[in-house]
Amino acid sequence: MTVSVLKTWGYEIPVCNGPYAAKFLYVKRDCYCSDHRHAKKDETFLIIRGTIRLLWKNGAVKYLHVGDVVHIPPRVWHKFMAVKGDSIILEVSTHDDSNDTERRSPSIAAPPETVCEFLRRERFDGDAAAATGN
């Protein structure tokens, strides 16, 4: 049975972790993972849902949308944030070893919503879903 791993920014669902690894990253809106890098791990992200703001390569910003793929080689600092709603990333990589991660900032949770912000978002999301038939 696969167990989800809670994170400040959302949660992970590991798929496998042998010579290569795969996991789904569920990133909550407006949350950042830590600014980090891996000495050995070689990662590729495929955006399954939402929009991701990726900060990497010494400050470069890249927006990733559904279907976009990005390769993050070892030793490259990176962090990501879900924008415009919750997002899902499929991460495929070399072996995932928690001792292979160096962090230079903590993960950041989204600020709490006010009731008005929540209702406005729910109304907007509901209107968008109704317009597309979803």
CATH number of the domain to which 92 belongs: 2.60.120.10
pLDDT at 130: 42
Number of folded domains that form the chain: 1
pLDDT at 81: 94
Domain with 15, as residue range(s), is: 5-132
What string of pLDDT tens digits covers the 134 residues of the chain? Answer: 567 899 999 999 999 999 999 999 999 999 989 999 999 999 999 999 999 999 998 889 999 999 999 999 999 999 999 998 999 999 999 999 999 999 999 998 877 655 556 566 555 544 444 444 44
Question: Sign (positive/negative) of CA torsion 99, 24, 103, 106?
Answer: negative
| Cα 112 to Cα 53: distance, rounded to the nearest angstrom | 20
pLDDT at 134: 41
